[in-house]
Amino acid sequence: MIGSRRAFAVVALVLMAGAAQAQPAPQTQIALTPTGKPEDVGLSSAQLQKIEVAMKKNIDDGLIPGAVMLVSRRGKVAWVNAQGKRDPASTDPMKADAIFRIYSMTKPMVTTALMQMVEEGRLQVSDPVSKYLPEIGKMKVGTEVTGADGNPALQLSDPTRAMTVQDLMRHTSGLTYGNRGTGLIHQSYVAAKIGDRTATNEQMVQRLSGLALRFNPGDRWEYSVAVDVQGRLLEVLAGKKLSEVLAERIWQPLGMVDTSFQVPAAKLARVAQPGPRPDGRPMTPRFKVDDGALYESGGGGSLSTIEDYLHFTTMLANGGTFNGKRIIGKKTLEFMTADHVGNRPGRPPGFGFGLGFEVRTRVGDSAMPGSVGEYGWSGAAGPEFWVDPKEQLFAILMIQANDGDTRIVRNQFRTMIQAALLD
């Protein structure tokens, strides 16, 4: 009888330990107004003040018109700061409800929606893209050679293997961006108007399929329009426009009420605008937010606020749940935030790439402090986010920069946030 009681006690302890391990990370407080002091969650108020000072200098120097910044730790929003102007052409101050073109921060949302379909058995990441988009299967690999006339020419060959959905998600597809080089393939992207906002996502993929691949799928990492192709894949699988798919699967479940591909008239006064370049040179125009564009770029076409993106990032930091509702599976998220590319050319030292996210693989190889396992991404106009599971921390920076190198501002912000950790 005593042995039975002891056995029962051991089993109970094991079950209790397993239950404790299975508990999700603390749900981040959703309100944008922090309660308590940063020190309550192990962050330095003095260091956060230094970030405000540094960002004000960036604004005064003309690098950016304004910024909204947020840090959350241990399940609580610890610090939010908005400063500068929403639009340098007006007197409007920057506010926390400003709507930003988030460009490539659209990508993690699209890949998350596609991974939801993987969870539903609609596809596998190992599937060839051509299974769903047959035109992609017709693409050849283009090798630039010198033609008989002495001019550059493309030598076409069959790829060594099919492009997979995983290749799209981790940027090993063989695709590229037209502005990432001056070679014949890059020129062909520009000539075909890949990214033209008057074309539908279907038309974009049709144009793309007539071009050559830069390399054999899987051979290396290269940032590309692959997530735009994912957007079209979502449309084909769901039978709906990308905006409708994202609204149903990501934006509405997460309460992202200001995230969209077009800004309605009633919200236009909240849109953050870039300023002129400090050197006076003309900048590349940012896309119009109310132009009625047919193209819904899964790789960089959405707009959002820091509060909306707080909801998305909270879901990630909480292991895939938001307000008690599961958005993506725990193991699926672990799979997405693992490194899928290794030390391939094109990746900065210390960083790999998962499915939709950049992933930290080493600390000492990089010029920035951080933790192995942290993940996130940024956008062309300067917004950035990352999640650090080890430190139970995530941070979001929303800016609308001119054409200058936004890495200056992003890296400064990231490095200074790391210095705010007290324990």
Q: Can you give the residue ranges of every domain in the chain?
A: 27-102+262-295+305-418, 123-225
* pLDDT, position 46: 98
Chain segment 190-246, per-residue pLDDT in tens: 999 999 999 999 999 999 999 999 999 999 999 999 999 999 999 999 999 999 999
Contact between 358 and 376 (Cβ < 8 Å): yes
C-alpha to C-alpha distance for 322 and 325, rounded to whole angstroms: 5
Contact between 99 and 272 (Cβ < 8 Å): yes
Across the chain, what does the average pLDDT equal? 91
Please say if the pLDDT value at position 16 is more than 90. Answer: no
Chain segment 100-144, per-residue pLDDT in tens: 999 999 999 999 999 999 999 999 999 999 999 999 999 999 999
The residue-averaged pLDDT of 299-320 equals 98
pLDDT band at residue 403 using 50, 70 and 90 as cut-offs: low
The residue-averaged pLDDT of 387-402 equals 96
Domain spanning 27-102+262-295+305-418 has what CATH number?
3.40.710.10
The residue-averaged pLDDT of 339-353 equals 89
Angle at 298 between CA 297 and CA 299, to 5 degrees: 85
User: What is the b/e burial string over 125-148, where b = at least 16 CB atoms within 10 angstroms of the residue's CB?
Assistant: bebbbbebbeebeebebbbeeeee
* pLDDT, position 282: 63
* pLDDT, position 28: 63
Please say if the pLDDT value at position 247 is more than 80. Answer: yes
The residue-averaged pLDDT of 304-331 equals 98
* pLDDT, position 7: 38
Chain segment 138-163, per-residue pLDDT in tens: 999 999 999 889 899 999 999 999 99
